[in-house]
Copies of this chain bind each other. A is one copy, B any other.
Amino acid sequence: MRDQLEAVALSVRSLSMDAIQKANSGHPGLPLGAAELAAVLYGKILRHNPANPRWADRDRFVLSAGHGSMFLYSILHLAGYPVSLDDIKAFRQIGSRCPGHPEYGYTEGVEATTGPLGQGVSHAVGMAVAESMLAARFNRGDFAPVNHYTYALVGEGCLMEGVSSEASSLAGHLKLGKLIVFYDENRICIDGSTDMTFSEDVAGRYASYGWQVLSGDMYDTAGIERLVSEAKADALRPSLIMLKSVIGKGAPTVAGSAKAHGAPLGAEGVAEAKRNLGLDPSADFQVLPEAYEYFKGRKASFSAAEADWNALFEAWSGKYPELRSSWDEAMAPGGINPALLASVKAPEVGADEKIATRTASQTALNAFAKVLPNLVGGSADLQGPNAVALKGAAAYGPESRDGRYLHFGIREFAMAAVANGIQLHGGFRSFCATFLVFSDYLRPALRLAALMKIPSIYVLTHDSVYLGEDGPTHQPVETVASLRMIPNVKVYRPADAEETFYAWKEALARADGPSCLVLSRQNLPVLSKDDPDWRHTIECGAYVVRKGGDVPDATVLATGSEVSLAVKAAELAAPMKVRVVSVMSKETFESQPELLRETILGGKEGSLRIVTAEAGTKTGWEGWTKDREDHLSIDRFGESGPGDKVAAHLGFTAEALAGILTRKP
């Protein structure tokens, strides 16, 4: 009888080749080259239950090399996850459960969207962080309801990307012993052999990060099992298991060459591969009976694993009812309980105070953190400047897994990817922080959060040229607008300390996408607000700060620090009646019904004169004005100098805005 795992691996190859051939698009190299890992991982290594892909204590697996998506779809199908043969036949078609790259939320069993290289393994680091944090909160000497491993599969591409270096260095530092990363060491990339670009000693590098490094053969499934045992035996170091492999193994026309990477094998190539593998070349989407049988045989064991855990969980719940109730809160789908958010009182701020919104953010963050024990996060080495210290909370680390504050180091991209991983794991709401201008460093992770519809929060301070002396490398100009245009991202730029509280509240209330809190370094006055109901209206994204009469002559749409500037400009422009609207969340405001927008604006959008004011590019505001000159904006890089002087140098004064308002058309 054929070895059952071999039959599984053969079936992974068969399904992968055929799906890619039928789609006439896809990447056979990895699923063919690593099929044995799929078999042993889903058959023997993972503690999971395909019948319940959402079992809280399942082992996680992230296919970091996401282009090899058929690796995942094939084995999910074989193992009994809800991925049918028909789904596989619809590989790479619109609406399919099997899109080109694994997409979180499309397919049960897909733990993260992957494809942009290096991020998947960084998500896995975040998941391992979350596991250890959750264990510290909920496990007690006699019971460990949280006790699972996080696995990832990377190729050379993931290892070359800087984000994986950052995340791996952090994982070593954090001693994430329950993180196990397989390296599909085929030494081939798209341009050809990795000899052309990648001659570093990967084992040495990972050892220097504090990882345990093991190596073996991709086609020795028993060996892989032994290596995983070794990896698990070292509880203090994450493990890199290097598996020598042949890209496209089994397809004689392309195996071992770059041609295997990213193109269908062609009808002839598929047929030849099938012959070579001892499969029937005339049968499409062939699954060997032994493969199905194997997983049928495993079914009881998979169910038993979850049943055992359920029993343990119930016993634990009985013994620790308070912990159980915290657990239920932490794990609730759909995000944070609105009642909890509502229980946090807005801060009392004196009307004549001047407070930087980053400082107000620290107050708000701490107020919410008090009632939200699952809110965790930190900064890329800017705890003070970003104002994200959590009072009374320990820093998370190898000796303090119950810490809530994460020192990410100067690793913005990994920070955001790890924060995504924490979020994906479940049990936590994560935030991360850096200077707004350096959101460019983490932008690819923010985009993935938006695509995955996960509510990561980004605290982005030093939000304009007003930051001053650090100069144009540190002064955002295009940045706020460039964040707003990523689909499903919400950007909040509060104008004062009071608004900042609501920005946090809305970001925390959001369950289906990321939020950016864009905050000032400089102090800003607390505004008196003409809309008596502004605390409610602000949920529309904008509200009236200065009414300028029922029928204003002009309305200024301003955000953040420019709202107080607009209030001054409105005074200077008297007797002209100028309305000032604070647009804390532009995309929220723009999504309101027209009538509501016009009530806030004070007139018809087609006829009312609108002027915009934001210390950044006018791109994104151009649809609001009738005249191209009706923007106070910065469409060039800044300068190094004291913030007020730089702003004035760039025309950011109340006088300049009043000048625009009173200009004769």
Contact = CB atoms under 8 A, between A and B. Distances in A.
Given A190-B385, A197-B409, A410-B189, A641 B94 contact: yes
Contacts of A620: 619-620, 622
Contacts of A95: 639, 641
B191 A381 contact: yes
Contacts of A109: none
A515 interface: no
Given A468-B25, A485-B481, A407 B191 contact: yes
A173 B199 contact: yes
A362 to B, nearest CB: 15
B485 A473 contact: no
A210 interface: yes
Interface string A375-391: 00001011111000000
Contacts of A182: none
Given A414-B162, A487-B478, A641-B93, A473 B115 contact: yes
Residue picked from A202, A440, A488, most chain B C-beta under 10 Å? A440
A100 B640 contact: yes
Interface in A616-645: 617, 619-620, 622-625, 628, 635-637, 639-642, 645
Interface string A460-477: 000000001111111001
A246 interface: no
A409 B645 CA distance: 44
B637 A488 contact: yes
Nearest to A395: B196
Interface string A556-593: 00000000000000000000000000000000000000
Given A205-B205, A477-B487, A410 B100 contact: no
B162 A94 contact: no
B619 A484 contact: yes
A610 B384 CA distance: 49
A640 B473 CA distance: 37
A552 interface: no
B471 A478 contact: no
Contacts of A145: none
Contact of A640 (B92, B200, B622): B92
A132 interface: no
A9 interface: no
A223 to B, nearest CB: 24
Nearest to A99: B640
Residue picked from A25, A191, A447, A623, most chain B C-beta under 10 Å? A191
A115 B471 CA distance: 9
A139 to B, nearest CB: 25
Contacts of A646: 94
Interface string A1-36: 000000000000000000000010110000000000
A76 interface: no
Contacts of A66: 473
A625 B622 CA distance: 10
- How many copies of this chain does one complex carry? 2
Given A169-B198, A469-B26, A640-B92, A162 B160 contact: no
Contacts of A413: 162
Contact of A487 (B414, B441, B624, B636): B636
Contact of A208 (B202, B210, B411, B414): B202
A266 interface: no
B623 A473 contact: no
Contacts of A162: 118, 161-166, 411, 413-414
Contacts of A173: 197-200
Contacts of A484: 619
Contacts of A645: 93-94
B163 A197 contact: no
Interface string A387-431: 000000001010000000001111111100000000000000000
A172 interface: yes
A482 interface: yes
Interface string A340-358: 0000000000000000000
Nearest to A489: B478
A486 interface: yes
A164 B385 CA distance: 24
A208 B642 CA distance: 44
A172 B163 CA distance: 19
A612 B382 CA distance: 42
A652 interface: no
Contact of A639 (B99, B163, B448): B99
B94 A160 contact: no
A87 interface: no
A185 interface: no
Contacts of A100: 469-471, 474, 640
A96 interface: yes
Contacts of A641: 92-96
A137 interface: no
A487 B118 CA distance: 29
A103 interface: yes
Contacts of A198: 169, 173, 409
Contacts of A471: 92, 99-101, 103, 115
A207 interface: yes
Residue picked from A67, A208, A408, most chain B C-beta under 10 Å? A208
Nearest to A262: B385
A125 interface: no
Contacts of A170: 197
14 contacts: A92-B640, A94-B645, A101-B471, A114-B473, A115-B470, A116-B473, A117-B410, A162-B414, A173-B198, A200-B209, A207-B208, A488-B636, A623-B623, A623-B625
Q: Pick the 9 closest A-B CB pairs, nearest first.
A: A162-B162, A622-B623, A204-B208, A197-B409, A99-B640, A94-B641, A165-B165, A115-B473, A100-B640
Given A162-B164, A204-B204, 6 more contacts: A161-B166, A169-B200, A201-B210, A477-B487, A484-B619, A622-B623
